[in-house]
Structures are given as structure tokens and as C-alpha cells.
Amino acid sequence: MATINDNYLKLKAGYLFPEIARRVNAFVEANPDAKVIRLGIGDVTEPLPAACREAMVKAVEDMGDRDSFKGYGPEQGYAWLREKIAAHDFQSRGCDIDASEIFISDGSKCDCGNILDIFGNDNAIAVTDPVYPVYVDTNVMAGHTGDINDKGEYDRLVYLPVTAENNFTAEIPTQKVDLIYLCFPNNPTGATATREHLQAWVDYARANGSIIFFDAAYEAFITDPNIPHSIYEIEGAKECAIEFRSFSKNAGFTGTRCALTVVPKNLIGKAKDGSPVEIWKLWNRRQATKFNGVSYIVQRGAEAVYSEQGQAQVKELVAFYLENATIIRTKLSEAGLDVYGGVNAPYVWVKTPSGLTSWDFFDKLLHACNVVGTPGSGFGAAGEGYFRISAFNSRDNVNEAMTRILSKFK
């Protein structure tokens, strides 16, 4: 009989979102008239910018004409898109990133998992706690961890707790780790990183020969000019960091699918025999072999994000969600709750009141206010006692949810 990848058996059964759905469904069944507002899942709600839609309609027309029809494109993405990204997202901020170092893909979630293809199985890996679960689960699947304990921690992973006590900033580890996942602005805590914090990580990585996986999926939500948008704004980062970006959260491409990964040419890893190897060459080979590029139509849609009209529309979209976040922060504070994040980020991270667990607070909000959020403990052991509220929703839903919470908690 065919054997399977046993590492999959180590995965904690997809617990968080199914359990949320189970509790919400049970509540709705018992209370069919309740108007439940979901501020839980991290998906966008507003339609695609007009500039992107128009560009995609035109691209469909291109596909209908023998002269402009496109078959397989470059596996790395079309040069016209990579060049716009390099100029607009990186060079304009003083980052020395070339178009050839940008790889277009169908999602940052996929890239975060796929990148492990080109790294060894004996690396020490650090993640923050709480964390975006994809970083952990893809390492479990790849056999980079041992078993899970009762707290939900996998053996062999290094967890760096982030809580209100350390201002949601992980301490630089004292032990040596080889791969480090950082996400700023952060999902789930909504925290951002200062230039000094990122410099400390880059210095650590260079001193230890480590590589940082920097997830910048939410960089468009940064409005404070002092907060770096890219790890490459930090001196030395080109020698130690891979950056993941996505059109999902800035331009609403969660269902359209387009993202990018930056692999600098001076990034070096070590082969078993100790010889240095260019990471870029491995990723280029990996993509050319296992991936056939993002659809021409979708890449034209992503390109339109960089037009004058596209820029204005994306700014407006992001500002809309940020205003939601401000409303959530303000109202929850008025309700007497301790709130974090929600500035330069679309997530508000709430301390659960009076010692309630994350799931206690979930039940309380669901039953008293008919509002659904995400229990912080679902993102890691150190998320216990916290709760994530997402700003991705209509203004009406946000206002209504906050009115209900204020009436019950104040």
C-alpha cells in the first residue's frame, strides 16, 4: 500500500475556524432571528478597484485576438509588472531591489509554504507566538518539527511570545536560529515594527547567517511615515531577508489571486558540504519547474494598481478599512476594554476583560452582542487572553457591532 507523509498526522486538526463556525451555527439555530455580525475572518469585503477591473476586461479582449493572445507567460511573471513593482514599491523607498529579484505568484500563503522547498530540513526555525498559522503548519508538513504538546506548541520550533508586556515586539533570541518568520504590520496583533526593531533582527540574522522571512502583506495600511514598509529599508537586509507581498489586502485580490516574493541575488545559503549557494537560483529553478505563472489577465489587473487611478482607488480602499479600525478601537476603549493594534493595521487586538479566556470572551460576545471575532488562543499559546477583531467589513456592520458592544459592556 502507498505510504503517506506522516508529518500531516502531527497537525492539530484544523481547529480554530471550524470551531468558530460550530459555535456560531449552534447559536444561530437556537436564535434564528439574531442578526449575527462577523468580524472574525481576515477577508476583505469591498469590491475590486475600477482600475483593476477595467484592466482585466481589456486583458480578456487581448486574449480574444490572435495578435495579442498570450499563452504561457514567464514563470517569474511579466517584466512589465515586475518592473513597476520594483520602481514603485522598492526603489521609490530607497530599496535597491531589481525587477529580476521579484517573482510574481498566485499568493503569499502559497509562497510562504513553497519557500521551504529550497531550504534544508535541519534548520532551527523561529516564529512569534501568536502567529499566522500558515508559517507553523507548513513547517509541520515539511517535517521540520516534532509533535505538538498540550499548549499547542510543536517540538523543535522556537516560539517568541509577543504580549502587551513586551509591547508585542519579540525579543531577539539568545539561541541561534536559522530561519525567522516576521510579519509587520502583524496578523493577528496589528502591531507594527520600528526601524530599530527591524535593524536588530537584520543584525542578528547577519551575525548568525540566518534568513528572515518578512511578510509585508499589510504594508499598505502603514500611514505613519516613520514605520518601514519593506525589510529592505533596513541596512543589510538584502543579505539576509526574503520578503512576501500580496495584492490581497491592499487591492482586494483575495479571490483574484496575485502576490510577489522578493529574493535578492546576494542572499546566500549553505550546502551540506559547506559551500555557499545563491538562494535566488534555487527559487528561480523551483518556480520554473513547479509553477507556470499567474494568469495574464490577473497580472494586468495587478499592474493597474500602479496607475494613477489605481493608486488613488487603492488608497481609498485602505483608508476605508483603517477608518473601520479607528471606530473599533475608539468604541472598544469607550467600552472599557484594552485595545492594541488597529493603527497602521486592519486588526484590533483586544485584551479579554476580567480574566476571561479567549473562548469565554468569544461566547460572551456572540451571546450578548451577536458579534463574532477570533479567539487569540487560536493563533498560539501566548494569544490566550486576547481576541482579534477585523476591520474588514462594511461601515454599517462595524457601527452596529460597536453599538451593541458598548450597550452591553459600558
> Taking the complex as a whole, how short is the minimal distance between the CB of residue 290 and ligand PLP, in angstroms?
16
Binding flags for ligand PLP, 213-232, as an x/- string (CB under 6 A):
--x-x---------------
* Segment contacting ligand PLP by CB under 6 A, of 156-164, 241-249, 287-295, 348-356: 241-249
Among 139, 210, 248, 250, binds ligand PLP (CB under 6 A): 248
> Taking the complex as a whole, how short is the minimal distance between the CB of residue 253 and ligand PLP, in angstroms?
7
* Grid cell for residue 178: 536559522
> Backbone phi, then psi, for 350, in 5-degree steps?
-110, 135
Contact 168, 191 (CB under 8 A): yes
| Nearest one of 216, 305, 229 to 261, comparing CA atoms | 216
Q: Is 40 left (phi over 0), alpha (psi -120 to 50) or beta?
A: alpha
**Does position 109 bind ligand PLP by CB under 6 A?**
yes
Give CA–CA dist 218/344, Å, rounded: 9
**Does position 346 bind ligand PLP by CB under 6 A?**
no
Give CA–CA dist 352/359, Å, rounded: 10
Binding flags for ligand PLP, 294-323, as an x/- string (CB under 6 A):
------------------------------
Query: Residues near 222 by Cβ (< 8 Å), separated by ≥ 6?
Result: 185, 192, 229, 344
> Taking the complex as a whole, how short is the minimal distance between the CB of residue 183 and ligand PLP, in angstroms?
5
* Segment contacting ligand PLP by CB under 6 A, of 102-110, 114-122, 169-177, 392-400: 102-110
Among 132, 168, 283, 296, binds ligand PLP (CB under 6 A): 132
> Taking the complex as a whole, how short is the minimal distance between the CB of residue 49 and ligand PLP, in angstroms?
16
Q: Which residues ranging from 32 to 61 are in contact with ligand PLP (CB under 6 A)?
A: 42
Query: Residues near 333 by Cβ (< 8 Å), separated by ≥ 6?
Result: 339
DSSP-derived pairing of the beta strands 339-341 and 179-183: unpaired
Give CA–CA dist 208/387, Å, rounded: 35
Interacting residues toward ligand PLP by CB under 6 A: 42, 107-109, 132, 183, 187, 215, 217, 246, 248-249, 254, 259
